[in-house]
Structure 1
Amino acid sequence: MIVSFALALCCLGAFAVSFARDRRRLRNGVFLVPALFFGLSAVLDAMDFNAFGTWVKAVVVFAVIALGPLCVAALAVFLVLNGVTMLRREGRRLGNLLSLLLGLAMIGYAVLGVLALVLNWFALFATLITVGLVVGYVSFLFACYLVYSLIYLRIPNRRADFVMVLGSGLLNGKVPPLLASRLDRARQVFEALRARGGAPMIITSGGKGPDEPVPESHAMAEYLVAAGVPRDRILLEDRSRTTAENMRFSDRIMRAAVPDYRCLVVTNNFHAFRAALLARVEGVSGEVVGSPTAAYYWPSATIREFVAIFRDRWKINLPICAVLALAEPVLLAVS
C-alpha cells in the first residue's frame, strides 16, 4: 500500500508540474493515468475486505479475474459493430475502417491465443507474447491519450482575444455538417466571451481546395454572418491547406493585431487534443475547444487521431516497440 501510494503521489506531482507548464502535452496523460492506477491500487490495498464478509471478497476476485477479459471482449464486439455502421454511413475509406479492423484484430488475437494453448504451439505463443508487449505499450499510450484528451476538453477557458475556427473542407461549395458544428461552437464561444465583457474577433481558417469554388474561410465567414455574427468581427485566413498551416498563418494574423494575444481554437471534439499539440508546436498562444460530433463517428475518428499522434512521435515510439519485439527471439532461444 505504501509503495502504491508513494508512486501515485510521484506521478500526480509530475502531472501537476507538467500541466502547470503547458496543458497541451501528451506527457500530461502519461503522468496522470499511472497516478490514477497507483492511487486505486493504494485504496484497494488499504481496504480490509475480510470485514465485509466472504461474498464481498468473492465479488472482488471475480471482478479482477473476469471483468477485464469480458470488457475487452465487449470492446472488440463494439468496435466491429461501429465499423459496420461507419461503412454504411461514411463509405469505404481507410479512415472509416479503423474501428472495424481493430475489433477484428482483437478477436483474431484471442482466437490465436486459444489455438496456441490447445496445440501447445510454443512458437506461436512466443509471437503472441511479443505482439502483446507491443500492443500493451500502444494501449497504454492510447489510454493516456484518451483519458487526458477527455479531461482537456473540460478545462474552462475564460479569456481570449481571438476565436479561430479550423476548416475541414466544403461540400459542393457549401459548409457541410461537420464544419457547421465547428462554426456553431465558435459562435457560442464568441458570444460567451462578449457576454463577459470581451471584444474577441473570429478567424475563419481554410484555403481553397482544388475542387472548391471559393476559399473555405470565405464560406465559413458567410455561414457565421448568416448566424448573426457581425461581419466586422470576422477575419479571413485563406491560404492554409493543412491544420499546421491553419495554426501558422492564423498565428501571424493574430500576432500582428495583438502581439501578446490569447486565442481559443475551435475544432471537433475528437480532433481537439491533437490540434492542441499542433498549436503548441506552431507557437499559437491559446487552447482548443471541441464541438459535438455524431456518436457513431467518434470511435474511428479518435483512433485515427491517436495513430497520427503515435506516428508523429516515431523517434520515441519506434525504438521502444523494437526493444519489445526482441522478446520473441529471446523466448525462442531459451525454449
Structure 2
Amino acid sequence: MPLVIISCIFIIIGGLILLKERRSFFGGMFFAFGGLFLILTLFVVGLIKISEISTNSSELLTVIFYTLFPLIFLIVCTFFIFNTHTMQTKEGRSVTAKLSALLGINLLITVPAFFYLLSMGSSKIPLWLFSILLFLLLSDLLFSFLFTCYLFYSWMYQMIPIKKKVDYIITLGSGIRSEEVPPLLKSRLDKAIEYYHKNPTAKIVVSGGQGADEPVSEAFAMKKYLLSQQIPDVHILMEDQSTTTFENMAFSKKIIFEDWKNKDQAPTILFSTNNYHVLRGALYARKAHLKAEGVGAPTALYFLPTALIREYIALLTQYKWFTVSMILVCLVFIIRSVLPI
C-alpha cells in the first residue's frame, strides 16, 4: 500500500506540472515514473493475491516468475543485441550503432548480478565492497527504468492530436550528402507537407545550416524538395544558419515573427521531425521560448532503438541536475539500507 501511495504522489505532482506545461521534462518523467511504478506494483500485488487463493494459482505464479518473465527478458535483450547488426548493415559501422547492443548486454549482466548480490548478502564479502557493487547495480537499473519512463513520456506527448489551424510548420534539418534529401529528412518534410495540405495558408520554415561535410545547406536541399512537391515558393521560408536543434528553434522563431503580420495575435506553430526526436525538440522549443508543438514522422523499426537511446543519453546530459539527483537518490538509499549508522 505505501508503494501505491508513493506512485500516486508522483502521478499527481507530474500531472499538475504537465497541465501547466506539457513540455516539462521534470513533470513528464515524474508522471511516467509514477504511472509505470503503479502498474508494476498493482501487477505484482495482483499476482501475490491470486497465489494466495489456491495451490494451482501459486504454481502459476511460480511459472510466471521463473519462466515467463525470464523468457520475455531474454527476448528483449536479444532484440537489442541483434538490432546492432541490422543497424551496421543498413547504416554503416559507428559508435552510435552499437548503443542497442550495449544496452542489451548491460541488462543481461546487471539484472542477474543485482538479484544474485541481494541473495548473497553482505556476509560473504566485505561490507564496503557489497555497498559499492549494490550502488552501481542499483544506479544502472534505475536509469534503465527511467529509460522506459522516457519512452512512455515521449509516446504520451505525441498522442495528443493537433487540430487547431496552423500558421507555420518548422521542419528540422538532418545530415545530407548531396542536394537530394535522404530518407530520414524526406520523412520529416513529408510530415510537414501533410500538415500543410490541412492548412494551405501556412508557411513551411526549412531549418538547417551547412555542415563542413555538406555540399549545400540542409535548408537549401529541403526547399528544393518542397518545390518538387508543388509547394509554392512564397510559402517556404529558409533558415540556413543553425547547427543544433536549439538554434533550429531560436533562429526559426526570429524568422517567423519577422514574417508574421498579425501582431495582435501569436501564430500557431508546429515543428516536424522524426518521432524519436519530437520530445527533445519540444524541450528545446521551450528553452528557446518558442510556443510550438511537435509532430513526428515514422522511423524505420531497426533505427528506433539506437535513436531513442541516443536521445535519452542526450537528455540526461542536458538535464545534469536530474542525472545527479538520481545518483544521489541511489546513494542515500544505500547509506540508509546497508551501511550502519
Give me the TM-score of the superposition, normalised by structure 1: 0.85
Q: 2: distance between equivalents of 1:300 and 1:158? A: 31
Q: 1: distance between equivalents of 2:215 and 2:51? A: 71
Between 1 and 2, higher relative CO (CA 8 Å, sep ≥ 6) is seen in 1
Q: 2:277 aligns with which of 250, 257, 271?
A: 271
Deviation of 1:287 after TM superposition, in Å, equals: 0.6
Deviation of 1:324 after TM superposition, in Å, equals: 2.9
Question: What does residue 174 of structure 2 align with?
Answer: 168
**Unaligned runs of at least 5 residues, structure 2:** none
Question: What does residue 327 of structure 2 align with?
Answer: 321
Does the 8 Å CA contact 2:158/2:296 hold for their aligned counterparts? Answer: yes
Q: 2: distance between equivalents of 1:114 and 1:317? A: 24
Question: What does residue 82 of structure 1 align with?
Answer: 83
Deviation of 1:23 after TM superposition, in Å, equals: 1.4
Question: What does residue 215 of structure 1 align with?
Answer: 217
Deviation of 1:125 after TM superposition, in Å, equals: 5.0
Q: Tell me, what secondary structure is at the counterpart of 1:153?
A: helix
**RMSD across aligned C-alpha pairs, in angstroms?**
3.2
Does the 8 Å CA contact 2:9/2:34 hold for their aligned counterparts? Answer: no
Give me the TM-score of the superposition, normalised by structure 2: 0.84
Q: 1: distance between equivalents of 2:159 and 2:20? A: 18
Deviation of 1:293 after TM superposition, in Å, equals: 0.8
Number of residue equivalences: 329
Does the 8 Å CA contact 2:11/2:30 hold for their aligned counterparts? Answer: no
1:233 alignment partner AA: H
Question: What does residue 161 of structure 2 align with?
Answer: 156
Q: 2: distance between equivalents of 1:31 and 1:226? A: 43
Determine whether 1:225 maps to 2:227.
Answer: yes
Q: 2: distance between equivalents of 1:319 and 1:45? A: 29
Question: What does residue 198 of structure 2 align with?
Answer: 192
Deviation of 1:33 after TM superposition, in Å, equals: 3.3
Question: What does residue 19 of structure 2 align with?
Answer: 20
Determine whether 1:282 maps to 2:288.
Answer: yes
Superposed counterparts of 1:109-188, under 5 Å: 109=110, 125-159=130-164, 160-188=166-194
1:154 alignment partner AA: M
Q: 1:262 aligns with which of 244, 247, 268?
A: 268
Render the CA deviation track for 1:251-287: whole Å, top value 9, x for unaligned.
1111223351221111111111111111111111111
Deviation of 1:91 after TM superposition, in Å, equals: 1.8
1:18 alignment partner AA: I
Q: 2: distance between equivalents of 1:140 and 1:329? A: 21
Deviation of 1:4 after TM superposition, in Å, equals: 5.6
Q: Tell me, what secondary structure is at the counterpart of 1:165?
A: strand
Q: 2: distance between equivalents of 1:190 and 1:56? A: 56
Deviation of 1:59 after TM superposition, in Å, equals: 2.5
Does the 8 Å CA contact 1:173/1:213 hold for their aligned counterparts? Answer: yes
Render the CA deviation track for 1:130-151: whole Å, top value 9, x for unaligned.
2121113212321221101011
Question: What does residue 63 of structure 1 align with?
Answer: 64
Deviation of 1:326 after TM superposition, in Å, equals: 7.3
- Fraction of identical pairs, as percent: 32
Change (3 A) 1:331 1:78: same
